A and B are shown apart, each in its own frame.
Chain A
Amino acid sequence: MIDTAPLLSDLNNRVSSGSSFRPSEVDLSKPFIQTEQSEEEDHAEALVNEEWQRKIETLTPRFPTDQNVVAIDSTELVLGYIPGGFVAALRASLVTKTPKDNTHHLERHGPFLIAISGENKDELFQTMHRRVYGIAASSPAPTLEKTLDRVRNLFERYLQLEVARKSHESLILLDGSLIGGTVDSPGFFVRKIIDTAAENTNSIAALSKSTELTLEQSRRNILSLLEGIPGPCCIGDIRNQIRHGSDRYLGQVYVTRLTTTGEPFRIDLPENTAKPHDEILNSLAGLAGNYGYPEELKLAHMTCVFSAIEVLELQAAAIALHGLVMKEEADIRPKIFPL
């Protein structure tokens, strides 16, 4: 397993014993509970030239029987509120398909409890930033919720780099994009992941279910480019059509549909992948299952999100770990107006 001990010591902070704890509401009718993570939310809308001569490539699905496929995903969730902050849980999953027997292996890190408050958020963010990126963050920690998202992102980036380092001749699937130059994802670190992967003859593919890239005239999302086009296919060369800041995109950008009835996704592939892009896209089409999404990424997501039952357990664990005291719901409206 990847050694995460240094990170965990950074996360392992304490809350004063006896602090009150107001657990987040858990709707048991929803089997899994997750916080919406916006992809590339640091970015404003980026416009894409709509007039270029688009070439639509047909994909030929080929299940990659000769290489490892590794998919990485992570999740975060606020378990409950303490004075001036909250206690949250983090978890990340690495799902590997081996070439020998095509079975799936799960390496799961977490759940880890993390207490974030107005008092500790800057220190926590800076410590994690230095630990993962090796440099101090250029800005203070954002809001509490956003700090949690950044901490989770740092945790995921750390794992991505480790996977790029330890894997060989593998197809590495990331949830998101290969955009750099943001507070969340400094360009140099995304580049480091890409180059480390290439040095080890790995190929990285980053899949986004949504994107801020917008067609300049119609103002429609670039995913709409595949509307009406049948079968597994893709359109490439999109990065060259981005009007401003295309240098922050550290890979070629494709709009793809991996299966006939699947949804369109944006896929970022670095220039220096071990295998040609068309081969990687065909492999991804071979791995795609329901909704045209690669099974390994789906498994990584499904195994890291928290079930409602786990959330209740983790709330109990948070209370026990920090010596918290349960607090009644402050909202008295339901008490006054029970019907």
Chain B
Amino acid sequence: MYLLSKDANDLWIVFSPSERLRLGDNIKIDDIVAQVVDIQFADLPGVLQHVLRKSLIPITETEEEIQPEVKSIVDSLSDQKVALAKIRGRIVETGGHGGKSFHTGISEFNLSRSKSKIELLDENALFQMLGISPASTSEFADTLSTNPTPYMIPLEALGINVITGMKESGKSYAAKKLLIQLIKRGVLTVVFDVNGEYLNLWKKNQNEPNEFINYIKILTPHLRTAQAAELPLAIPLNETSYDDFAKYLNVLEGTPTYQYLVQFWKQQKGKQFDLNDLEEFVKKPENVPNEAVRIALQGRVDSARATGLFGPSSVTDLIKQLHGSGGAIIINLARVSPWERGIIVEFTLRKLAELGQTKAIRAVSLFLEEAQLYVEAGNMINLLTRMRHVGVFPTFITNDPRTLPDEAFTLLDNLIAFGFRNEDELRQLAKSGLIDTGTVNVLKNLENQQCLTVGKITSNYPIFLKIKEQTGIVMGGESRKLVP
């Protein structure tokens, strides 16, 4: 390998077909660390004519007798490659005892085209310099490099996270793998599952449960009775506010109907109550003298009952229980209307914030699949700016990063990005400031299950990963095939 040129942070390195270098490789050139983000053929003068001449007669119609000793060298020059490597920083000796650390940026450039030694950087050594604990097994992922190295996300470094990639690129698979790791570390994760993708995580196969059956609970609205890991989801009326109830049922603030709801909630303060109690309150003329208002309130009670969403629930207990042991609460939003979805999400977010504020729970991870479908703009900003202070750490999982507000990228702690083809989506990712546009463009070339990981979980050093296959867990959701 030889250094060809440097342009800003880009180094161009020439290497021969017998030398191995691939996208994601970290290389050391003297004390400079660079990462391969693209590989091309070396643009040699005359190569076009050389190839055009070959194309005159198809290879299938060509027989060649080449001197055996020459054969291995013929075509080696036209196959010379050039690797584009991004300078990430340099290695600095520390402490005088052979200790080394990684510093970003380079203020000196003393490389030599002829003398600088270019070699693959041992990734365990790199991780050590970056302060990333080495993974003993490649349970989560291996680095994407010539010598793949096990990598485990340091869960304590999770904050505001985005897992993104185009459809079928592997982002949900990675999210599920991350979820499993969080459970193992005793962390509770609440998942808003709009597509029913997480519903089988408690299964070993289609017939048997796996080791996580007691730690994964699926809350499904409109479900009558509990089945295996699936529990009915209902919202206790006493756990909603009059304001939210009015909002859910389209009661305008300041109207007489609204005023009576306020009055009922004040009367019941500190007590358990449900729709029957509200109905009883509404029916009494001494409580609501105006007949028209009474009829309007009764209509709202009937509507609320018809949704099947309000009723006794043990959500709070479940959260507290799994917060202690670690686990996952999957809120199954796959078969509910957008209106109901909004109610459920709002309730859940408020419940988590309330439990966090009262310190009933220390911290919880929140997975939001395609959040734009059910999180209102106000709540989204709240999630990004305030919720982390009450211990709610959101992970947004989306196939279109443009659906997330800009704040998501400016406040982003960690980005796990899978393959993309669309330039607009790539530009959106670059807004995070965690990664440069040149590196983001690598996403165009990634295969399924391959991703770029950067942020606090990588000490801000971009690491390319190949997510490992998960065994013993049904990772697929409830997708159906058009043709069986």
Question: Is A45 interfacial (CB 8 A cutoff)?
Answer: no
* A1 and B70 in contact, given A104-B57, A299-B56, A312-B77 (Cβ under 8 angstroms): no
Do the beta carbons of B44 and A317 come within 8 Å of each other?
no
Cross-interface CB contact of B70 among A103, A299, A312, A317, cutoff 8 Å: A317
Do the beta carbons of B49 and A31 come within 8 Å of each other?
yes
Q: Which residues of B contact A18 (CB under 8 A)?
A: none
Do the beta carbons of B78 and A309 come within 8 Å of each other?
yes
| Chain B residue with the shortest CB-CB distance to A32 | B49
Cross-interface CB contact of A313 among B45, B61, B73, cutoff 8 Å: B73
Q: Report the minimum CB–CB distance from B160 to chain A (whole Å).
A: 52
Do the beta carbons of A1 and B61 come within 8 Å of each other?
no
Q: Which residues of B contact A112 (CB under 8 A)?
A: 67, 70
Q: Which of B16-73 contact A (CB under 8 A)?
A: 44-50, 53, 56-57, 61-67, 69-70, 73
Do the beta carbons of A1 and B63 come within 8 Å of each other?
yes
Q: Which residues of A contact B76 (CB under 8 A)?
A: 313, 316
Q: Report the minimum CB–CB distance from A112 to chain B (whole Å).
A: 5
| Chain B residue with the shortest CB-CB distance to A11 | B67
Question: Is B377 interfacial (CB 8 A cutoff)?
Answer: no
Cross-interface CB contact of B46 among A108, A309, A317, cutoff 8 Å: A309
Report the bound CA distance from A32 to B48 in whole Å.
11
Question: Is B228 interfacial (CB 8 A cutoff)?
Answer: no
Do the beta carbons of B65 and A310 come within 8 Å of each other?
no
Question: Is A314 interfacial (CB 8 A cutoff)?
Answer: yes
Q: Report the minimum CB–CB distance from B421 to chain A (whole Å).
A: 33
Cross-interface CB contact of A307 among B53, B63, B73, cutoff 8 Å: B53
Q: Which residues of A contact B66 (CB under 8 A)?
A: 110-111
Do the beta carbons of B70 and A113 come within 8 Å of each other?
yes
| Chain A residue with the shortest CB-CB distance to B50 | A307
Do the beta carbons of B56 and A8 come within 8 Å of each other?
no
Question: Is B291 interfacial (CB 8 A cutoff)?
Answer: no
Q: Which residues of B contact A302 (CB under 8 A)?
A: 53, 56
Question: Is B74 interfacial (CB 8 A cutoff)?
Answer: yes
* A317 and B53 in contact, given A31-B46, A310-B74 (Cβ under 8 angstroms): no
Q: Which residues of A contact B46 (CB under 8 A)?
A: 28-31, 307-309
Question: Is B75 interfacial (CB 8 A cutoff)?
Answer: yes
Report the bound CA distance from A110 to B66 in whole Å.
5
Q: Mark A1-41, 1 if CB is under 8 A from B, else 0.
A: 10010001000100000000000000011111000000000
Q: Which residues of A contact B50 (CB under 8 A)?
A: 31, 307-310
Q: Which residues of A contact B63 (CB under 8 A)?
A: 1, 105-108
In this complex, which of A8, A309, A312, A320 has the most chain B Cβ atoms within 10 angstroms of its Cβ? A309
Do the beta carbons of A321 and B69 come within 8 Å of each other?
yes
Do the beta carbons of A110 and B44 come within 8 Å of each other?
no
Cross-interface CB contact of B45 among A8, A28, A111, A320, cutoff 8 Å: A28
| Chain B residue with the shortest CB-CB distance to A95 | B57
Q: Which of B213-240 contact A (CB under 8 A)?
A: none
Question: Is A303 interfacial (CB 8 A cutoff)?
Answer: yes
Cross-interface CB contact of B65 among A109, A307, A313, A321, cutoff 8 Å: A109
Do the beta carbons of A104 and B45 come within 8 Å of each other?
no
Report the bound CA distance from A105 to B49 in whole Å.
20
Q: Which residues of B contact A314 (CB under 8 A)?
A: 70, 73-74
Q: Which of B73-87 contact A (CB under 8 A)?
A: 73-78
Q: Report the minimum CB–CB distance from B405 to chain A (whole Å).
A: 53
Q: Which residues of B contact A28 (CB under 8 A)?
A: 44-46
| Chain B residue with the shortest CB-CB distance to A105 | B61
Q: Which residues of B contact A113 (CB under 8 A)?
A: 67, 69-70
**Interface residue tally for chain A (C-beta within 8 Å):** 35
Report the bound CA distance from A29 to B49 in whole Å.
11
Do the beta carbons of A8 and B61 come within 8 Å of each other?
no
* A321 and B53 in contact, given A4-B65, A29-B45, A309-B47 (Cβ under 8 angstroms): no
Q: Which residues of A contact B47 (CB under 8 A)?
A: 309
Do the beta carbons of A108 and B74 come within 8 Å of each other?
no
Q: Which of A95-145 contact B (CB under 8 A)?
A: 95, 103-113
| Chain A residue with the shortest CB-CB distance to B54 | A303
Report the bound CA distance from A31 to B65 in whole Å.
23
Do the beta carbons of B65 and A303 come within 8 Å of each other?
no
Q: Which residues of B contact A30 (CB under 8 A)?
A: 46
Do the beta carbons of B74 and A313 come within 8 Å of each other?
yes
Q: Report the minimum CB–CB distance from B389 to chain A (whole Å).
A: 63
Q: Report the minimum CB–CB distance from B435 to chain A (whole Å).
A: 37
Q: Mark A175-191, 1 if CB is under 8 A from B, else 0.
A: 00000000000000000
Q: Which of A268-286 contact B (CB under 8 A)?
A: none
Do the beta carbons of B45 and A303 come within 8 Å of each other?
no
Q: Which residues of B contact A95 (CB under 8 A)?
A: 57
| Chain B residue with the shortest CB-CB distance to A318 | B70
Do the beta carbons of B75 and A313 come within 8 Å of each other?
yes
Do the beta carbons of B57 and A299 come within 8 Å of each other?
yes
Report the bound CA distance from A109 to B66 in whole Å.
6
Report the bound CA distance from A111 to B72 in whole Å.
12
Q: Report the minimum CB–CB distance from A94 to chain B (whole Å).
A: 9
Q: Which of A312-334 contact B (CB under 8 A)?
A: 312-314, 316-317, 320-321
Q: Which residues of A contact B49 (CB under 8 A)?
A: 31-32, 307
Q: Mark A40-51, 1 if CB is under 8 A from B, else 0.
A: 000000000000
Q: Report the minimum CB–CB distance from A275 to chain B (whole Å).
A: 26
Q: Which residues of B contact A104 (CB under 8 A)?
A: 56-57, 61
Do the beta carbons of A308 and B45 come within 8 Å of each other?
yes
| Chain B residue with the shortest CB-CB distance to A308 | B46
| Chain A residue with the shortest CB-CB distance to B75 | A313
Q: Which residues of A contact B74 (CB under 8 A)?
A: 111, 310, 313-314, 317
Report the bound CA distance from A104 to B56 in whole Å.
9
Q: A307-B53, A308-B50, A316-B73 are in contact. List 16 more A-B contacts (CB 8 A).
A: A29-B45, A29-B46, A30-B46, A106-B61, A107-B63, A109-B65, A110-B65, A110-B66, A111-B74, A112-B70, A113-B69, A313-B77, A316-B76, A316-B77, A317-B70, A321-B69
Instruction: State the A residues within 8 Å of B (CB).
Output: 1, 4, 8, 12, 28-32, 95, 103-113, 299, 302-303, 307-310, 312-314, 316-317, 320-321
- Cross-chain pairs A/B with CB under 8 angstroms, 22 sampled: A1-B63, A4-B65, A28-B44, A105-B62, A106-B62, A108-B65, A111-B67, A112-B70, A113-B70, A299-B56, A303-B57, A308-B45, A309-B46, A309-B77, A313-B73, A313-B74, A313-B76, A313-B77, A314-B70, A316-B76, A317-B73, A321-B70
